[in-house]
Amino acid sequence: MLREETNKAYMEKIEENLLETIAGDDVRTGAYNIRKNGKGVERQITENVKIETKKDGTGIDIYVKENTKFEIVHIPVIITQSGLKDVVYNDFYIGKNANVVIVAGCGIHNDEHNDSQHDGIHRFFLEEGAKVRYYEKHYGEGKGDGKRILNPVTEVELKEGSSLEMESVQIKGVDSTIRETRGKVYKDGNLVVTEKILTAGTQLAKTVFDVDLEEEGASVKVTSRSVATENSKQQFESKIVGNTKCFGHVECDAIIKDNAKVTAIPEIIANNVDANLIHEAAIGKIAGEQLIKLMTLGLSEKEAEEKIIEGFLK
Amino acid sequence: MLELKHIMFERDNKKILNDINLTIDTGKFIAITGQNGSGKSTLAKIIMGIEKPDSGQVIFEGQDITNKTIDERARMGIGFAFQQPVKFKGITVLDLIRLSANRKMNKKEACDILSTVGLCANEYIDREVNGSLSGGELKRIEIALLAVRDAKLCIFDEPEAGIDLWSFQNLIEVFENIQERTKGTTLIISHQERILKIADEIILMRNGKIQKTGKAEEVLAEMNVKPHCCKLNKGTKC
Ligand SMILES: Nc1ncnc2c1ncn2[C@@H]1O[C@H](COP(=O)(O)OP(=O)(O)OP(=O)(O)O)[C@@H](O)[C@H]1O
Ligand SMILES: [Mg+2]
């Protein structure tokens, strides 16, 4: 009995730490929905933000009322049960001119031998003039050799004059990830995606962007910064299609170390003479002159390298 | 405080430094000058440890540092402001100032340092040290980074390059302040007469050799730095 009690306290502590790592310490302010080991366990709604379980039980629908100003919605997922494969569909309906911050993310703690996996499919429907800032943080930990696998899919539909800024960070402990982001951007809509990835060991990270700029004034900016170390592999694929007068900019910047491998596959397709599309990709080791400069400030080579990577992923 | 003995540095069959011998005393303000490509920057890099000489020795405060790494030399008290400042991604001016300072430094102090090199601190302190900064701005930040280190030996590689004339006096004050605090030695690579004139000593380099060292007046006289006639000034300077 006593053992069970301590074990329970231990798990609770792990869970709270996971939550804080991926969602910050203010998870329970405003509207939120916490999913643990495949089930919704805590929820709070507000006047402007409704959260409902889907009829078929596969996920939740989040409704933000039009003209909502500056609310924060937390949708974290944590997995502590080894061997669990969790798939969830979350749909966000953002009303006209609403302005919200959405914090999602997934933390996996796996102490055992079985693989734990979370596939989150998030769809965003932004009405005219809506503004969303969307943060997604991925994190894995635990002593087991069971893999921690995360495959997030984000689909966005941006109606006239709406904008979505997405920031995704995967810094530690995720063994395998395939991240897909698909978007359709309409008149004067603006999609900004920033991703930061650090891989080590034999980790694998693949990101796929597929964005269609459908109507005049639509724009997208994708910035990917990644560091691949040890024997890890990364692949960055992006396809931007400009069907009208629009602007697209993709920037993929990777630092490679040790025996890591990085592949960048750019694709930009202009179907209109006024489509302005740019793709920049750079892969390379840490610039020698940056190391040298920091060493002249008294940092050892290792410290200098850490600082450069820390800054690069900041 | 610094002694170079028979420094040789050869690349692509070219003797970039050809038997450099030099002794520099504590508390001096020394200028190195000479034609483009004469080996000034290479010499500075050899003192800092960025380049290794093919042969010869570097002695700093009585200790042979020829085989010491860059960071070991930095911790011993040698500092270097690059001719071409290095750019980073994501590292801010404040980050670099804090790394450079040998002591704890709050934001206010870091701002004060920036002000001394003529940068309006609030505008710059949180900016990334990347290509969005102008050449002169990068150069001033580079100078600030060395100014906070309180290094015993400060080497500036063409600090005045890209800095507008108006700020020239400020720049000289920065050097004066460093020397007042550290009582150390400042070694400045420069083509600027106004800097050469205030030096205790000038080292004149030519084709990888030291052509002359001596008091500023003597070397300047040898260099024959006087207004020259040319078609541009139509003889009014003669
Ligand atoms: N690693 C190298 N490999 C080949 N040549 C080099 C190398 N480093 C320097 N050099 C050459 O050595 C010469 C001296 O270079 P250095 O940069 O020291 O000149 P400098 O006196 O500082 O010139 P400036 O006034 O233009 O700054 C130049 O001709 C340069 O091209
Ligand atoms: Mg030079």
Residue B230: is its pLDDT beyond 60?
A: no
Q: Return the closest-CA partner of residue A98 out of A41, A19, A53, A159.
A: A159
Residue A57: is its pLDDT beyond 90?
A: no
List the single residue in A with minimal CA-CA distance to B149. A297
Residue A311's SS3 state is helix
pLDDT digits (tens, 9 = 90+) for A218-251: 999 999 999 999 999 999 999 999 999 999 999 9
Alpha-carbon distance of B211 to B200, in angstroms, equals 17
Contact list, B102 vs chain A (CB under 8 Å)? 298
Mark yes or no for CB contact A296/B96 under 8 Å. Answer: no
Residue A165 in domain = no
Q: What is the pLDDT of residue B219?
A: 86
Over residues B214-221, the mean pLDDT reads 86
Domain boundaries, chain B: 2-91+131-233
Residue B237: pLDDT band (50, 70, 90) is low
Contact between A228 and A202 under an 8 Å Cβ cutoff? The reply is no
Q: How far is CA B27 from CA A13, A177, B144, in A?
A: 59, 59, 20
Residue in A295, A311, A313 closest to B70 by CB: A295
Q: What is the pLDDT of residue A5?
A: 65
Residue in A290, A297, A300 closest to B99 by CB: A297
Are A19 and A139 members of one domain? yes
Are A9 and A76 members of one domain? yes
Q: What is the DSSP letter of A274?
A: T
Are A116 and A218 members of one domain? no
Over residues B70-93, the mean pLDDT reads 96
| pLDDT > 90 fraction of chain A, expressed in percent and rounded | 83
Boundary of a domain, candidates A152, A167, A192: A152
Contact between A175 and A204 under an 8 Å Cβ cutoff? The reply is yes
Architecture of domain B2-91+131-233: 3-Layer(aba) Sandwich (3.40)
How many of the other CB atoms lie within 10 Å of CB of A189?
A: 28
As for how many domains chain A has, the answer is 2
Contact list, A297 vs chain B (CB under 8 Å)? 74, 96, 99-100, 145, 149
Are A219 and A182 members of one domain? yes
| pLDDT > 90 fraction of chain B, expressed in percent and rounded | 67
pLDDT digits (tens, 9 = 90+) for B131-186: 999 998 999 999 999 999 999 999 999 998 888 766 778 888 899 999 889 999 99
Residue A60 in domain = yes
Are A286 and A143 members of one domain? no
pLDDT digits (tens, 9 = 90+) for B17-47: 999 999 999 999 999 999 999 999 999 999 9
Residue A187: pLDDT band (50, 70, 90) is very high
Q: Which residues contact B37 (CB under 8 A, 6 or more apart)?
A: none
SS3 content of chain B, % helix, strand, coil (to 5): 35, 25, 40
Over residues A48-71, the mean pLDDT reads 95
Contact between A107 and A21 under an 8 Å Cβ cutoff? The reply is yes
Residue A290's SS3 state is helix
Are A251 and A128 members of one domain? no
What is the number of alpha carbons within 13 Å of residue B205 lying toward its C-beta?
27
Confirm whether the ipTM is greater than 0.95. no
Give whichever of A104-108, B121-125, B151-155 has the largest mean pLDDT: B151-155
In whole numbers, what is the pLDDT of chain A averaged over residues?
Answer: 93
Whole-number Å distance, alpha carbon A23 to ligand 1 midpoint, is 52
Give me the domain span that covers residue A314. Answer: 175-314
Are A130 and A194 members of one domain? no
Alpha-carbon distance of B28 to B178, in angstroms, equals 12
Q: What is the pLDDT of residue A173?
A: 85
Residue A166 in domain = no
Residue A164 in domain = no
Are A181 and A302 members of one domain? yes
Contact between A64 and A90 under an 8 Å Cβ cutoff? The reply is no
Residue B209 tokens, joined: 């050799």
